[in-house]
Amino acid sequence: MESKRVLSIRDLEISFKTTDALVRAIRGVRLDLFQGETLAIVGESGSGKSVSVKAIMGILSSNGSIDAGKILYTDPETGEEFSIVDMSQREIRSKISGQRIAMIFQDPMTSLDPTMTIGKQIMEGMRYHYQVPVQEARRKAQELLELVGIDNSAKRMKQYPNQLSGGMRQRVVIAIALACDPQILICDEPTTALDVTVQSKILELIQSIQKEKNLSVIYITHDLGVVAKVADYVAVMYAGRIIEKGSVEEVFYDPRHPYTWGLLSSIPDLNLEEEELYSIPGNPINLALPFQGDPFAPRNRYALNIDFEQEPPLFSAGGKHRVASWLMDPRSPKVERPASLERRLKEMREEIGRNE
Amino acid sequence: MVRYIGQRISIAVVTVFLILLLLFLMLELMPGTPFNDERLTDQQRDVIMEKYGLDRPILERFFKYMQLMLKGDFGISYTLNKNMPVSFMLGQRVGVTMSLGLQAVLLGLAIGMVLGIISALKHGTWLDSAMSMIAVAGVSVPSYVFALFSLYVFAFLLRWFPIRYNPSAPGLSGVLPVISLSMFTIATVARFLRSEMLEVLGSEYILLSRAKGLRESAVISRHGIRNSLIPVVTVVGPLVVNLMTGSLVVEKIFAIPGLGGLFVQAITVNDYNVVIAISFIYSVMFVLVMLAVDILYSVIDPRIRLSKGGPA
Ligand SMILES: Nc1ncnc2c1ncn2[C@@H]1O[C@H](COP(=O)(O)OP(=O)(O)OP(=O)(O)O)[C@@H](O)[C@H]1O
Ligand SMILES: [Mg+2]
């Protein structure tokens, strides 16, 4: 059975007014999220991952505005539709954020209120949105704490964030996110700030909760290695645009965009320790300055002349696979992926195979 | 926690003791004696000194003083009101000074907080800039300038308020002195709270509470204000010092029968016991405020209340 679409983003454009320029942070993003599935958004720092999801939650900074496009949320249970772009920030928060769509942030050390008990912070959403009676809210918060793997929940409820380790705090943040039974969970680099050993545990926790509650998950990361483990779909962002997207199989079996190649090559390989870690040359462009052509062209070894003149459209690579690169044009010369990357891809496919 | 508070209190007691000792030593070093009348011969002066016990060694005098002080006896005035007990002279004056000071602190905190919160919320607008300018003026202009200015404009020119402070009608006549005294507090608290609040509003837990779907006003009242108010407690100590020094002059300007005016007089005529008693009262007030701030801070901030290294 085809699963239901819960979120669809069409041609989204977002810009920020700063004192000296207009930053065009998101330039025509198109994405879909289906019930129970995981969409991963990857890309270097500043590519627009967080901004895209903040727009969905109605928490863009006050200098940002949605200039064009649609964000459509469909409640998978009731079929109710919400056009988020047409709602005021106040309306989004009273109907969507925290209740139907919840979010987890990068740094658990700073994402909890240091002067409020864990219990109060978990109960806050339920009490605020649904006026759940204290007793019931407390019971539910305790259940949530146990669900996210925190024992001794009655005692933990009365503790303050600084009495918990980073991994524990991230579990609390997850409990907060689940408090109002959302259908979509957005995780903005949920493990980046954690110890490596804790990272995989949090990842597994998110996956098991997703399965149990049939959640749809948007998972933001700059680690393509994580994507292979958790995602059904991948969207690769660069300079405010999605430059390659498709199912995990499509993108990992047959990546087409040189930027994706670069990201894939820069995943640390645990088997080959001595090899120096690859990184894409140069820096992302500054979106506050005007540019011509493909913003990735100056960093692209495979750039064609046209890349410096005109930004490529999204070409289809079959199935759901889309690539914004002139290399996809039938008139372009044929370019082979580097041999070292092919080796890495083979390993990663095995990883995906193991998870199936 | 209890141990921490006990510790703080004993530190406060020791501090007060040391201050008293220091006051004694400093007065000893001050030129002149209370009996600098030119008509007195050296012999006569020696007799008087002996009569009041001022010929005894300083430590002996110190301990004797301490003993009596604990019974509420601050000695007698040597010059200002000859032989009148100091405790009697200070009696009503302490009340006047304390009540004006307290009003100024409370008014300053209240207005300062409101201004600080508004500037942070209206960050970057003309309102914010205007308030910043007022705050800079409030911090840099001494309270006696405000006092003189407001006296001239509102009491002398406009005649809205009486020029002199009237102890039997402290309401209206207390307005100008209280406002002059509170200016510095208003400005300091406003500035401090504004920057605290801006930092808090940019923090990730504010973002998280927005993502919970809380209305912006709820985000600010539940998480923003609470977290930015806690550190304000730390600036209250220095504010009280400023207020005490300010009150010395402001009391003079409005002819307020408080400690400040008496203090200045007593110093000019070397009235030892009065000087020591007032300095001592000021010191005790200050030590008490600091003690209260420390304890309050550790009670309201769970990070300190519960941290392992800190007071447990
Ligand atoms: N409030 C703002 N004012 C101006 N520019 C902004 C603002 N917020 C984001 N931007 C710009 O938008 C772009 C995308 O930012 P975003 O936070 O989405 O990046 P990201 O992909 O999440 O990066 P990271 O991996 O570092 O989190 C950046 O170029 C950033 O400078
Ligand atoms: Mg981000």
Note whether B191 contacts A: Cβ–Cβ < 8 A.
no
N-term to C-term CA, chain B: 5
Is B213–A113 a contact, with Cβ atoms under 8 angstroms apart?
A: no
**Per-residue pLDDT reduced to its tens digit, B46-85:** 888 787 777 788 888 888 888 888 888 888 888 888 888 8
pLDDT band at B289 (very low <50, low <70, confident <90, very high): confident
Q: Which of A107, A128, A160 sits opposite B204 (nearest CB)?
A: A107
**Per-residue pLDDT reduced to its tens digit, A308-353:** 988 999 999 988 999 999 998 888 888 888 888 888 888 777 777 7
Please tell us whether the domain made up of A5-231 is placed in CATH 3.40.50.300: yes
Whether A131 shows a pLDDT value over 90: the answer reads yes
Mean pLDDT of B119-126: 90
What percent of chain A is helix, strand and coil (3-state, nearest 5)? 35, 20, 40
pLDDT at A50: 95
Residue ranges, comma separated, of all CATH 3.40.50.300 domains in chain A are 5-231
pLDDT band at B255 (very low <50, low <70, confident <90, very high): confident
The residue among A95, A103, A113 with the most chain B CBs within 10 A of its CB, best to mutate, is: A113
CA atoms within 13 A on the CB side of B200: 26
Tell me which chain B residue has its CA closest to the CA of residue A121: B209
pLDDT at A95: 93
| Max CA pair span of chain B | 86
**Per-residue pLDDT reduced to its tens digit, A159-178:** 999 999 999 999 999 999 99
d(CA A120, CA A160): 10
Atom of ligand 1 nearest to the CA of A54: 18
d(CA A1, CA A225): 29
Ligand nearest to the CA of A42: 1
- Of chain B, the percentage scoring pLDDT greater than 90 comes to 22
Q: Which range (A98-112, A156-170, B272-286) has the least confidence?
A: B272-286
- Please give the model's pTM, rounded to 2 decimal places: 0.85
Whether B227 shows a pLDDT value over 70: the answer reads yes
The H or E element spanning position A185 is strand A184-188
pLDDT at B312: 39
Is B209–A124 a contact, with Cβ atoms under 8 angstroms apart?
A: yes
Q: Please compute Rg for chain A using Cα positions.
A: 21
The domains found in chain B, sorted by start residue, are: 86-307 (1.10.3720.10)
Task: Give the C-alpha distances (Å, rounded to integers) separating A336 from A255, A269, A321, B178, B184.
Answer: 11, 22, 18, 81, 72
d(CA A122, CA A142): 9
pLDDT at A272: 58
Atom of ligand 1 nearest to the CA of A49: 21
pLDDT at A2: 66
E-strand ranges in A233-321 read 233-238, 241-247, 315-316
Is A115–B204 a contact, with Cβ atoms under 8 angstroms apart?
A: no
Contact A316, A322 (CB under 8 A): yes
Whether A12 shows a pLDDT value over 70: the answer reads yes
Is A114–B227 a contact, with Cβ atoms under 8 angstroms apart?
A: yes
d(CA A183, CA A77): 9
Our answer on whether the CB atom of A190 is closer than 6 Å to any ligand 1 atom is no
pLDDT at B311: 41
Distance of CA B295 to the CA centre of its chain: 18
pLDDT at A267: 77
d(CA B115, CA B125): 14
Whether A355 shows a pLDDT value over 70: the answer reads no
**Per-residue pLDDT reduced to its tens digit, A25-81:** 999 999 999 999 999 999 999 999 999 999 999 899 989 999 999 999 999 989 999
Our answer on whether the CB atom of A63 is closer than 6 Å to any ligand 1 atom is yes
pLDDT at B138: 86
Mean pLDDT of A186-192: 92
